[in-house]
A and B are shown apart, each in its own frame.
Chain A
Amino acid sequence: MLSRVAENIFWMSRYMERTNIHLRNLQTLYIASQDGVPVISWETIYKEYNPGQKSAACTGDSEILQNIFFDNNLEYSLSNNILRARENARSAQDHITKELWQSLNDFYHQMRNPALKAQIANHDPITVFDQFIKQCMHYYGTVDNSMFRGEGFYFLRIGGFIERALQCILLLKRQLMISDISRPEQADPVSWRYLLISLSGYEYYLRANAGSFNVESMYNQILYEDHFPNSVAYSLYQTASFTKSLKKSNLEEQKDSIEFLLGKTIAYLKYNKPEPDTNSRLEFLTQLESGIHEIVQAFDRHYFKVAY
């Protein structure tokens, strides 16, 4: 497979994963605000999406959500994510299936549908969330059922799981800043519950910890639970597994370096227990994040941007 195409597929998958996680997180935050327990202010969220201040400031949940969804001047808006995913898919169109391309293309056209924009303005963002989340599910289903299990599929999966791990870390970091779990009296189990809901992990949590609302357990689930698909550990194990599949057909020196870095990062997650205070936990997460970025760089070096 062409290096450029492999990179396009990797990034297409990252943008789609990012979109999915952001959609679910925003939806939960919106529901929380409607429940009367706002986890974080919309203005703070808006700043996260608009780091370069390219887009004009705005206020109110509807206006902010509208911009986060549709404003192309907003660096990390969902429409920009989809646009980038689609541009990457366009460049790799001969290596993804026609069905997958059409699924992405549909998503793109939905993002440009003025009726959906109006729906947010009319205070009905849930319908818009539902529609886009359904489109994400369509994308995942199409990947699973139509993509040939070859290099393209492996790069797609690796990109997705790397992004998922990074997004989980970002969400955890934000959550730690909101709710200090080192002091149980200050920890806010409600906001942790919403975080788990946004990662589709609350039902799993209830089954494993019936009746108890322990924020430490919630934190551990997102970080370490290897049966929970939206945990950092699960994402890293899956990345390692798909990298191994890739290895069957690739050069020795490529896989060794990446495997080593993956092993190092997984070992760091598994065997390093940070001190229970928030700063140590944040530092730990930052280290983990750097480890994942190193893995991405190794993929760049060995697969995507090889110098000849």
Chain B
Amino acid sequence: MKQKSILGDYNMLQGVFDEMMAPGKVRDHYAKFISSFTGLKDAEVDSKNELAQKLFMTQGITFTVYSSGEGIEKIFPFDMIPRIIEASEWDYIEKGIKQRLKALNIFLKDVYHQQFIIKDGIIPASLIYSCPNYLREMVNVDVPFDIYSHISGIDLIRDHDGSYYVLEDNLRTPSGVSYMLENRNMSYRIFPNILPENKVRQVKEYPELLVKNLLALGNEKSSRPTVVLLTPGIYNSAYFEHTTLARLMGIELVEGRDLVVQNHKVYMKTTKGLKKVDVIYRRVDDEFIDPLVFRPDSVLGVPGIYHAYRKGNVAIVNAMGNGVADDKAVYSYVPDMIRYYLNEEPILKSVPTYKMENQDERKYAIENIRDMVIKRTNESGGYGMLIGDCATDEEIATFIDEINKEPRQFIAQPIIKLSTAPCYIDGKLQPRRVDLRPYALYGPDGIDIVPGGLTRVALKEGSIVVNSSQGGGSKDTWIID
């Protein structure tokens, strides 16, 4: 009776794929969960929901916004209803991500060494050299095991027909994995026994897999390599994630000021003197990592670290210069990369992308701007973006002006009708748009993808922007056998 009422109130959006509901019925892989959920009393559901929000705050699973003096604690909103994906679908996603990552890694090796892909005319040289994230400093630098992107977060979305598209490749310092882990801890508390009943695959091995890969990178240098996580510090919004990962991996969490380079070797300042560092999992962006080579005003990095890296005295994860591979204009060439390097057809689709530096594509995109999303090639987090169907005439005019001034800085993509998943809002289930960021770990033994990932959700009604900076939240992702 109650199930009927919950589902009866659930208004699927017209022409949008819903993760839970097929027209007229609950999808099979959601059925068990929904039946358990509907067995809960309303007051119980409300109190569980409240508990979840409270736990995030008391456990300090927060990010701090330092606007004026003392920081303001904020939580990344959590929606208690999990997003459920069936195992067969996950296998397909996993294969697609592995294929994509292999190609992107070869591309990075190629673009910083022989550049066959440019010479063979697959990607225009101008596109690469005009990319602000292409680091000339990385040319002919050999990285351990030829792996550039050890940790990646590939953003996936579903269109109205249910097919998956890659929205973005995050190959630099993808964040959010701690929320994947914490969301799962929260699910255990909120839905006792429901996870094992649904045979949900585990995500907790992520830190072990990561530290295994990091240690493997240092094994050439030392039998007991010293691995550290380099954070920009407590003022960084992802600081909670840095501390969580360092603690779960049992490695030191260091700031730039804790490290010093002597004779092209990196050391950390300990109470027992200097200690050599072999592997750095850095969460500091390229431009801040070495003030002697990149931004001279950076106080977050370590002077001299670039040369220590170049000499092979320290491994840095992810490698520097990865930004060229996740540039939004280069993104449209990834299917070509897969065909070129792997001689395979891409498993995962890419969203059709119009490059604004191409005159015809620019003309088409501007003519159809109301059906397009315009993105800056070098921005993320939902910033620097225009969604055509909900922008004002003035905003559109400003964007067109900017596109015409600097076409290389923009791309256009048709508006994808992101799929919806049920969220518990105002005491009932309501559909909200979601994406999925699975985390892939590329180590000497191959690629591991933790089953699940972070489902980000646009909690505002009608919004398609899932980024936390734009009012987005997250939910646990269950892969069920």
Contacts and interface: CB of A to CB of B under 8 A. Distances in A.
Nearest to B57: A109
B121 interface: no
Contacts of A304: 271
Contact of B271 (A6, A98, A101, A308): A6
A1 B243 contact: no
A2 interface: yes
Given A83-B70, A93-B243, A105-B60, A3 B253 contact: no
A303 interface: yes
Interface size class of A (residues with CB under 8 A): 20 to 34
Main secondary structure of the interface of B (DSSP, over half): mixed
A251 B234 contact: no
Which one of A72, A90, A109 has the greatest number of beta carbons of chain B within 10 Å? Answer: A90
Interface stretch (B254-262, B312-320, B350-358, B389-397): B254-262
Given A94-B246, A94-B252, A308-B260, A2 B268 contact: yes
A203 B243 CA distance: 43
B273 interface: yes
Contacts of A4: 255, 257-258, 269
Contact of A308 (B58, B253, B274): B274
B224 interface: no
A56 interface: no
B270 A1 contact: yes
Contacts of B27: none
Nearest to A96: B247
Contacts of A105: 58-60
Contact of A93 (B247, B270, B272): B247
A118 to B, nearest CB: 20
B272 A251 contact: yes
Contacts of A250: 271-272
Contacts of A308: 260, 262, 267, 269, 274
A2 B59 CA distance: 25
Interface in A1-53: 1-6
Nearest to B260: A308
Interface string A90-120: 1101100010011001100100000000000
Nearest to A4: B258
Contacts of B269: 2-4, 306, 308
B57 A151 contact: no
B239 interface: yes
Interface string B51-68: 000000111100000000
Contacts of A251: 272-273
A72 B69 contact: yes
B271 A151 contact: yes
Interface string A270-306: 0000000000000000000000000000000001101
B262 to A, nearest CB: 8
A110 B255 CA distance: 29
> Which of A87, A105, A304 has the most CB atoms of chain B within a 10 A radius of its CB?
A105
Contacts of B270: 1-3
B247 A3 contact: no
Interface in B258-302: 258, 260, 262, 267-274
Given A4-B258, A72-B69, A251-B273, A90 B239 contact: yes
A132 to B, nearest CB: 16
Contacts of B57: 109
A87 B267 CA distance: 25
A101 B60 contact: yes
A98 to B, nearest CB: 7
Interface string A116-131: 0000000000000000
Given A4-B255, A4-B269, A101-B60, A94 B274 contact: no
Contacts of A2: 252, 254, 258, 268-271
A212 interface: no
A249 interface: yes
Contacts of B274: 308
Contacts of B251: 94
Contacts of A83: 70
Nearest to B58: A106
Residue from B251, B253, B268 with most neighbouring chain A CB atoms (10 Å): B253
A3 B253 CA distance: 12
B59 A102 contact: yes
B190 to A, nearest CB: 19
Contacts of B271: 1-3, 6, 151, 250, 303-304
A5 B257 CA distance: 12
A126 to B, nearest CB: 25
B272 A98 contact: no
A90 B239 CA distance: 9
A69 to B, nearest CB: 15
A4 B256 CA distance: 11
A102 B234 contact: no
Interface string A201-227: 000000000000000000000000000
9 contacts: A1-B270, A2-B252, A91-B234, A94-B252, A102-B59, A105-B58, A105-B60, A304-B271, A308-B274
Interface of A: 1-6, 72, 83, 87, 90-91, 93-94, 98, 101-102, 105-106, 109, 151, 249-251, 303-304, 306, 308
Q: Please name the 10 residue pairs, one residue from A and one from B, whose CB atoms are nearest each other, closest first.
A: A93-B243, A94-B246, A105-B60, A94-B253, A303-B271, A94-B247, A3-B269, A90-B234, A6-B271, A2-B258
